[in-house]
Amino acid sequence: MNMKTDKVLFVCLGNICRSPMAEYVLRYQAQQAGVGERVEVASAGTSGWHNGKDMHPGTAAMLRKHGISPAGFTSSQVHPFDADSYDWIIAMDDSNIDDLKRVIRFNTEQTFKLTDLIPESGYFQVPDPWYTGDFDETYRLVSAGSQALLRKLGLL
């Protein structure tokens, strides 16, 4: 039986804090739930400021704290064809959504904010720990949003 693989792209501004955290957390949660082969996940930034760089040390430390290896990451930028390559493009904040509208063929069914999946959180966007310094807050939101996405995809 051939099962569908959902392709997910997480997007933030620089692709070194929030979106790589979401990428690694979703991949880990899917593996833990026994559905790792059903989800293909990546991340990208809208700015390209950090292209080719590793994730932020605070993001890597937070992943390790939760038993997730941060190995193998390289920052990249959103491409115009990403809307064709991914089933879901999930942004971290309103600014990311605005930037995506200028770059990709935008479809609100396919592209939305992570916090849209967790309205009970009281957050309307995932705060950027580059500015806030609060990687714990980012992890809590990313983890809850990833669980909600797995439920939305029918994988939990």
Instruction: List active site positions.
Output: 12, 18, 128
Tell me the C-alpha distance between 121 and 117, whole Å: 9
Work out the number of other CB atoms within 10 angstroms of the CB of residue 108.
8
In contact, 42 and 11? CB cutoff 8 Å? no
Which alpha helices (DSSP H) does the chain contain, by range?
A: 18-32, 57-65, 82-85, 94-103, 129-132, 135-152
In contact, 94 and 126? CB cutoff 8 Å? no
Strands 111-113 and 39-45: unpaired
In contact, 117 and 152? CB cutoff 8 Å? yes
23 SS3 class? helix
